[in-house]
Structure 1
Amino acid sequence: MVTRDVYLPVAAQPSVETLVEQAQRGEQLGYERAWLPETWGRDAVTTLTSIAHGTDEIGIGTSIVPIYSRTPSLIGQTATTLQEVSDGRFRLGLGPSGPIVIEGWHGEDFGNPLRRTRETIDIAKQVMRGEEVEYDGEYYQLSGFRLRCDPPDPMPPIDAAGMGPKSVELAGRFADGWHALMLTREGLEERMADFDRGSDMGDRDRDDQRVTLSLTCCALDDPGEAERLVRQHIGFYIGGMGTFYRDALARQGYEDEAYEVSEQWASGNREAAMDALPDELIEEVAVAGTPEDAADQLDAFADVDGLDAINISFPRAADHDQILQTMEALAPA
């Protein structure tokens, strides 16, 4: 059975308390986990600590914490602490993010993200096992230290984000799960094969690994407004967040459309960029409409074999009331 998680808003919210209240509402509605992204707003760690203290049952997780903004050992320490403050409800989601954020915000070189992701996973697992960390990698050479507190029990699973074939294969080989995003149903099935191949390469038990799809959703009484918000969101990610989302959609049969959106956005023609998004593409990668129509659209994504959870995400321009309406409309039955 495909469960439902909630992906707390990526856009700025009025306060940390607002995010806590949204997580609390997710808990009341029966969502299994509340994920929090970390971009250039409030940091995920402090906010998730507040959410952990403000909730009782809902799982929490980072989706994603960038691997370039913290050392792998610190990521392991952070996961250990969040597992403690949440009484065992934490799941660690990590990934490289993209060069615009990593170089423009963190001032770090976005080099070899696949290798950096692998080394981060390896080291974080050593830290969380309570071992003396010994590692001789391409980017990290570590020795002589171990956690000076008890290791987390149970150890938080690690999910890796990825859109391309190699990054998804890496998630299957080294991580405990995969965060999928900006994928059509057919594209998700293709990448699922990459994840399964990686799982085989790593001699992993596929039944112990979890695949979560982050799906942009907007369920409103005004279907035109729901579609407008989703269209704006997708246009921003294709045009304003580098090449990753553009290239992911190009691999899924929308090359001309993705490049047109990217070019119009780069030229400052935001409305033209959004107009260049065909209705078919919106329907393939997102959910938008009335509460009834959106629920039907969501059910179609749940049919993909190998998918464990759908992460209800929200358009970046959605306001607090629109977020809550969507959360309520698409809550687990």
Structure 2
Amino acid sequence: MGRWGITLPLVGVPVLDHRELVAELGDLGYTDIWSAETAGTDAFTPLALAAQWSDLRLGTAIAPVYTRGPATLAMTAATLAEVSSHRFVLGIGSSSPAIVQRWNAADFTEPFKRTRDTLRFLKAALAGEKVSEQYDTFAVRGFRLERVPEQRVPIMLAALRPNMLRLAGREADGAITNWLGADDVPKVRAELGDKELAARIFVCPTENAEAARGLGRMLISTYLTVPAYAAFHDWLGRGELLRPMHEAWQAGDRRKAAEVIPDEVVDDLVVHGSVEHCRARVAKYAANGVDTPIIAVLPTGEDQLELVRALAPGA
């Protein structure tokens, strides 16, 4: 086994209460800690703390390119690279209309170009260049970092479909994806090429399949009705299987949208079962071409800190 990541902070666990767990992760076999940013913690603060509690690699999965200005994003990345002794990977992406428009009052326009332009700006800025550039989606005049990272900061892109995966393969250090099954990995890998592929894998370690599928259906109906994810699963070949969900969602029947998702889709996209079974399923993602599987533990009612320990490759 190569890399083995975990998504922190855990749902419902205060950020500072992770210190003891984070200090143990390396001995348990984890290599990476990755954050997320929706409506809970921001992507960077938990990693700044984790940098002081462990020597693991740290990454954002992801920081949206619309919710911080380009210069602010560069400064934040440079600072986290410094405080982590250059163990930081900056993952960026377009995020979603809900997060960008409804919650952050920004225009969600031309997400591919905005992500590409932000990537190009960050590569120049983090290298210490003075940037004066008219990009397609924004302009920067005369910006130069005062504290340039001593080592190059890797940048990875959130990518679902061929255009963004190919951009990640050409211009970034890799791609970050999620909401895919282990058997979908070769199709994604074929578009990315040989750059690093990280995947957030939703893991619900319980042998209560009904409960796991119920939670999975709720999450799938929430996420996969977002246009980018809908198009992703059309491309992966689940369009017909998910058509009833989309029809119910568009009709305003959220409950039915979740109910009509087939078991096979839930079982493909949400890993559940005993911790031993879950570890084996995560390992299958790696065997199929994911360089960095990133476990995201879904709540089961059990102690989440202990579940992280149980899901470690060395458990």
Fold conserved (TM > 0.5)?
yes
Structure 1 residues 228 and 188 mapped into 2: Cα distance closer, same or farther (>3 Å)? same
Q: What amino acid does structure 2 have at the position aligned with 1:85?
A: V
| Correspondence for 2:304 | 323
| Equivalent residues of 1:217, 1:286 under 8 A apart | yes
Q: Aligned-pair distance for 1:236?
A: 2.4
C-alpha distance after superposition, 1:227-262 (max 9, x if no partner): 4333332232124xx222222222222213323223
Q: Aligned-pair distance for 1:21?
A: 5.0
| Correspondence for 1:17 | 16
Determine the C-alpha separation between the residues in 2 that align with 1:175 and 1:324.
Answer: 33
Q: Aligned-pair distance for 1:144?
A: 2.5
| Correspondence for 1:236 | 222
| Correspondence for 2:115 | 117
| Correspondence for 2:173 | 176
What does residue range 211-222 of structure 1 map to in structure 2 within 5 Å? 211-220=197-206, 222=208
The reply to whether residue 99 of structure 1 matches residue 97 of structure 2 is yes
Determine the C-alpha separation between the residues in 2 that align with 1:298 and 1:48.
Answer: 23
What does residue range 15-164 of structure 1 map to in structure 2 within 5 Å? 15-20=14-19, 22-53=21-52, 55-149=53-147, 151-164=148-161
The reply to whether residue 185 of structure 1 matches residue 182 of structure 2 is yes
| Equivalent residues of 1:219, 1:325 under 8 A apart | no
Q: Aligned-pair distance for 1:101?
A: 1.4
Determine the C-alpha separation between the residues in 2 that align with 1:289 and 1:221.
Answer: 4
| Correspondence for 1:274 | 258
Equivalenced residues, count: 314
Q: What amino acid does structure 2 have at the position aligned with 1:331?
A: A
| Correspondence for 1:311 | 294
C-alpha distance after superposition, 1:31-51 (max 9, x if no partner): 111111111222222232222
| Equivalent residues of 1:291, 1:329 under 8 A apart | yes
Q: Aligned-pair distance for 1:67?
A: 0.2
Alignment counterpart, residue 191 of structure 2, candidates 188, 191, 194: 194
Secondary structure in structure 2 of the residue aligned to 1:135: strand
Extract unaligned runs of 5+ from structure 2.
none
What's the TM-score once normalised by structure 2's chain length? 0.90
| Correspondence for 1:8 | 8
Q: Aligned-pair distance for 1:117?
A: 0.8
Q: Aligned-pair distance for 1:27?
A: 3.8
| Equivalent residues of 1:168, 1:194 under 8 A apart | yes
Secondary structure in structure 1 of the residue aligned to 2:41: coil
| Equivalent residues of 1:217, 1:230 under 8 A apart | no
| Equivalent residues of 1:60, 1:91 under 8 A apart | yes
Q: Aligned-pair distance for 1:22?
A: 4.9
Alignment counterpart, residue 289 of structure 1, candidates 273, 279, 287: 273
Structure 1 residues 280 and 118 mapped into 2: Cα distance closer, same or farther (>3 Å)? same
Determine the C-alpha separation between the residues in 2 that align with 1:164 and 1:309.
Answer: 19
| Equivalent residues of 2:206, 2:300 under 8 A apart | no
What's the TM-score once normalised by structure 1's chain length? 0.86
Structure 1 residues 186 and 226 mapped into 2: Cα distance closer, same or farther (>3 Å)? closer
Q: What amino acid does structure 2 have at the position aligned with 1:90?
A: F
Q: What amino acid does structure 2 have at the position aligned with 1:185?
A: A
Percent of aligned positions that are identical: 30
Q: Aligned-pair distance for 1:6?
A: 0.5
Determine the C-alpha separation between the residues in 2 that align with 1:19 and 1:229.
Answer: 24
Determine the C-alpha separation between the residues in 1 that align with 2:161 and 2:190.
Answer: 12
C-alpha distance after superposition, 1:74-116 (max 9, x if no partner): 2111111001111222110110001121111111111111111
Determine the C-alpha separation between the residues in 2 that align with 1:267 and 1:14.
Answer: 36
Secondary structure in structure 2 of the residue aligned to 1:163: coil
Alignment counterpart, residue 264 of structure 1, candidates 248, 260, 263: 248
Determine the C-alpha separation between the residues in 2 that align with 1:24 and 1:258.
Answer: 41
Q: Aligned-pair distance for 1:118?
A: 1.1
| Correspondence for 2:233 | 249
Q: Aligned-pair distance for 1:168?
A: 1.1
